[in-house]
Amino acid sequence: MQKGNDNMLIPSLETDTQEIESVVSLSQKNNVATKKKAPNCECAIVKSENFSFYYGSKAGVKDISMEIYPCSVTAIIGPSGCGKSTFLRSINRINDLIPHTHIDGKLFVNGHNVYDKNTNLVNLRQQVGMVFQKPNPFPKNIFDNVAYGPRLQGVKNRSSLQQVVESSLKAAALWDEVKDDLKKSALALSGGQQQRLCIARALATRPNIILMDEPCSALDPIATGKIEDLIDKLQNDYTIVIVTHNMQQAARVSKRTAFFCLGELIEYDSTVKIFRNPGKKQTEDYVTGRFG
Amino acid sequence: MQNLELKPAVDKYQPLVLTPLEDIRGFLFHHLGRFLLFLITFSSVLLMLLIFFFVIREAIPFLMKFNLTEFLTTKSWYPEASTPKFGALSLIVGSLYVTIAALVFAVPTGILAAIFLSDIVSLKIGDFIKPVIEILAAIPSVAYGFFAVLVLAPWMQNKLGFTTGTNALNASIILSIMALPTIISVAEDSISTIGRELREASYALGATRFETIFKVVIPAAHSGIIAAIVLGMMRAIGETMVVWMASGNANQIPSPWWDLSQSVRTMTATIAGDMGETPKDSLHYGALFAIGVVLLVMTFLLNIISEYFLASAKRKSGKS
Ligand SMILES: Nc1ncnc2c1ncn2[C@@H]1O[C@H](COP(=O)(O)OP(=O)(O)OP(=O)(O)O)[C@@H](O)[C@H]1O
Ligand SMILES: [Mg+2]
């Protein structure tokens, strides 16, 4: 598994012009490996039924029905402004913070419609972690950033906090770079390190679903590689939904891909099918770069 | 592909070398402009230095004749007695006393109001409330004084049973109302510059609104909030008219120290009150200026503190 990852990543990073085709075939191999390892959980963990989200009277997404499966990576692709972030941010209801919005339809997480009135938002967000497009560490030191979530959950004991911080930073592949100075301000880290810190921070709350909104859009290829590597490792235990503008990235990391356009879900299928043999003309135009 | 309508303006390009005239003009504008701007900036600095200079100059004869330690550390202030005494301690304490009491009311209220405006209430209501708060800052202090004398004082005497209605509590309440607009608007500014990103990060980790505000937003905005407090303090310590009307002007240090129902006298009220009755160049006259120097030094220090915190707030928001 580990070796497969490296093989998969290195060639695709080195050449920008890499054909998606070869990425797909590589990642397909990889997915086969994952499948073997993944627990046998084939019922949807996130499920939307005719879900729409409105900013004022304007729909951000319309009538989305899709199922996201546990312990795998699901990619959301589509042109700018098509509602990828809107959909992603609806899952943990972080979009609620924007005034004058409302929704229509249903969105289930672990079988519960999160837009029901009786939803416990704190518990929802502890189960559904999020990594934002722009790294947004708190202006605190590295330790306090990662320990923020566990402390909210009532962990006070210094040594257990230390343990969570260490394992989260290790999981996010940042530990070796920061272990000597956890008291350093998070703002003094580079952009890529900050993004991995944000991933560590999300992991420290021990969610089972992680939403990532273009986590690599501000990063260089090396940092991107590290994060993709990480996503690959995480998918054994976590459900990951990732929005990306990078076709190769979607092809490399995901098992299923959803294509959004103008607020609608155009096609949702296995990544291999979306990139090799899409069912809709629109999808084909987009993944082959002919999209106007 | 269709031809672009907007073509490079090749035919209109001007030479890249400056003509001698342009060169001279540029030189003059550059240096003249700099000089004028320097003059304008410098004149405000000069004005400040002049104020300092004149206040100190008037105070010097007094400070030469009178012992400075006695001036700062004794409590008896009998400027018109046959052997006049100039102990300004209770005036200095009086100023600090009402100022600090005012801040005890105004700081929590002001910060909570700032949080309310930036994080709780909808934009529309906030846009309605903010101008109203700013009007508070525009009300002349005499009007506040009337309010203190006509409304608060009788209320305190009749309802709270204080021996006098004009007292430290009265003055500090009014001062706190006057300091509120400053505190609220500066704190609100610094709290709202903490972007949506940080708040979202906190909520996404399962924080409640309360936790988000107190664990992320306020710590991130702390420099701006401290600056707000210091600015509010400067507003309160320099205020004259209101404390003159509301504090009772009794030259004493309250005892027990927490008894706000006693009258006090502040430095500002003393200067304003006595200035009209003292012959120029008398010892009393010089003493008032010496108090002025103390006041100037205090506000100057506060100013430096607030500048420091505002600058560090700016540095931080620039970094993130
Ligand atoms: N806060 C907001 N207020 C009003 N409209 C919004 C807001 N955020 C997004 N929208 C609108 O909703 C639509 C979908 O936006 P969204 O951010 O989900 O797109 P996206 O697919 O994530 O785009 P990108 O790839 O550029 O991030 C857009 O048309 C946008 O104008
Ligand atoms: Mg987006």
Cβ neighbors of B235 (< 8 A, separation 6 or more) are B178, B179, B182
Calpha distance A232→A73 (Å, rounded): 8
Within 10 A of A114 (CB to CB), how many other CB atoms are there?
22
Give the model's confidence band at B255: pLDDT under 50 very low, under 70 low, under 90 confident, else very high.
Answer: confident
A193 CA distance to ligand 1 middle (Å) = 27
Same domain, B40 and B166: no
Examine the pLDDT at A36 and tell me if it is beyond 60. no
Same domain, B33 and B92: no
Calpha distance B228→B223 (Å, rounded): 9
Q: At which of B65, B80, B113 does a domain end?
A: B65
Calpha distance A218→A191 (Å, rounded): 7
Same domain, B172 and B301: yes
Contact between A149 and B206 using a beta-carbon 8 Å cutoff:
yes
Burial of A118 (0-12, 13-18, 19+ CB in 10 A): exposed
**Per-residue pLDDT tens digits for A218-252:** 778 888 888 898 899 888 889 999 999 999 999 99
Q: Extract the tokens encoding B52.
A: 């300092």
Which pLDDT value is given to residue A172? 86
Q: Which ligand is nearest to the CA of A89?
A: 1
> Is B170 within 8 Å of B246 (Cβ atoms)?
yes
Same domain, B87 and B167: yes
Residues of A in contact with B197 (CB under 8 A): 132, 134, 136
Q: Calculate how close chain A gets to B75, using CA atoms only, in Å.
A: 47
Same domain, B188 and B239: yes
Which pLDDT value is given to residue B122? 82
Residue B250 lies in a domain: yes
User: What is the mean pLDDT of the segment spanning A203-210?
Assistant: 93
Calpha distance B77→B176 (Å, rounded): 27
Contact between A97 and B196 using a beta-carbon 8 Å cutoff:
yes
Cβ neighbors of B158 (< 8 A, separation 6 or more) are none
Same domain, B145 and B263: yes
Query: Of all atoms in ligand 1, which is nearest to the CA of residue A260?
Result: 21
Same domain, B103 and B171: yes
Neighbours of ion ligand 2 (CB under 5 A): A 85
Same domain, B55 and B98: no
Q: Which of A58, A87, A102 is the best mutation target for the ligand 1 pocket, counting ligand atoms within 8 Å of the beta carbon and taking the most?
A: A58
Q: At which of B19, B42, B65 does a domain end?
A: B65
Strand partners, A77: A259
Alpha helices of B74-204 — where are they, by DSSP H? 89-115, 123-138, 141-147, 153-159, 168-192, 196-204
Touching check for A140 and chain B: CB below 8 Å?
A: yes
Residue B53 lies in a domain: yes
Q: Using the structure block, give the residue that is written with the tokens 């909104």.
A: A213
Calpha distance A91→B204 (Å, rounded): 11
| Pair type for strands A73-77 and A256-261 | parallel
Least CB–CB distance from A205: residue in B200, B205, B319: B205
ipTM surpassing 0.90, yes or no? no
Touching check for A122 and chain B: CB below 8 Å?
A: yes
Alpha helices of chain A — where are they, by DSSP H? 2-14, 20-37, 84-91, 121-127, 142-152, 158-171, 175-178, 191-204, 221-234, 247-253, 271-276, 281-287
Same domain, B61 and B156: no
Three-state DSSP at B165 gives: coil
* This prediction's pTM: 0.81
Which residues, judged by CB distance below 6 Å to any ligand atom, belong to the binding site of ligand 1?
A 55, 60, 78, 80-86, 98
Q: Extract the tokens encoding B107.
A: 């700081």
Question: How many domains is chain B partitioned into structurally?
Answer: 2
Same domain, B54 and B113: no
Which pLDDT value is given to residue B2? 64
Residue B8 lies in a domain: no
Domain that holds residue B151: 70-319
**Per-residue pLDDT tens digits for B269-316:** 999 999 888 888 888 999 999 999 999 999 888 888 888 887 887 776
Which pLDDT value is given to residue A20? 58
Contact between A125 and B199 using a beta-carbon 8 Å cutoff:
no
Question: What's the CATH number where B269 sits?
Answer: 1.10.3720.10
**Per-residue pLDDT tens digits for B182-219:** 999 999 999 988 888 999 999 999 999 999 999 999 99
User: What is the mean pLDDT of the segment spanning B236-254?
Assistant: 91
**Per-residue pLDDT tens digits for A104-144:** 999 999 999 999 999 999 999 999 999 998 899 999 999 99
Three-state DSSP at A111 gives: coil
Residue B1 lies in a domain: no
Same domain, B146 and B240: yes
B266 alpha-carbon distance from chain centroid: 17
Mean residue pLDDT across chain B: 90
Distances (CA, A) of A141 to A137, A146, A147, A184, A210: 9, 9, 10, 5, 23
Which pLDDT value is given to residue A2? 41
Which pLDDT value is given to residue B11? 82
Which pLDDT value is given to residue A11? 39
Mean residue pLDDT across chain A: 85
Residue B12 lies in a domain: no
Calpha distance A9→B315 (Å, rounded): 39
Give me the phi and psi of A130, to 5 degrees please.
-140, 140
Residue B198 lies in a domain: yes
Residue B219 lies in a domain: yes
Touching check for B316 and chain A: CB below 8 Å?
A: yes
Cβ neighbors of B223 (< 8 A, separation 6 or more) are B190, B309, B310, B312, B313, B316
Mutation target vs B (from A89, A120, A125, A205; most B CBs, 10 A cutoff): A125
Within 10 A of B299 (CB to CB), how many other CB atoms are there?
14
Examine the pLDDT at B92 and tell me if it is beyond 60. yes
Pick the residue whose CA is nearest to atom 13 on ligand 1: A60
Least CB–CB distance from A138: residue in B123, B198, B203: B198
Residue B18 lies in a domain: no
Examine the pLDDT at A35 and tell me if it is beyond 60. no
Q: Extract the tokens encoding B309.
A: 């915190």
CA nearest neighbour of A198 among A172, A180, A220, A219? A172
Cα Rg for chain A, rounded, in angstroms?
Answer: 19
Examine the pLDDT at A34 and tell me if it is beyond 60. no
Touching check for A102 and chain B: CB below 8 Å?
A: no
**Per-residue pLDDT tens digits for A8-26:** 433 333 333 345 555 555 5
Comparison of pLDDT for A136 and B9, the residue scoring more? A136
Same domain, B173 and B147: yes
pLDDT exceeding 70 applies to what percent of chain B?
Answer: 97
Q: At which of B47, B65, B83 does a domain end?
A: B65
**Per-residue pLDDT tens digits for B60-86:** 999 898 888 989 999 889 888 888 889
Which pLDDT value is given to residue A18? 45
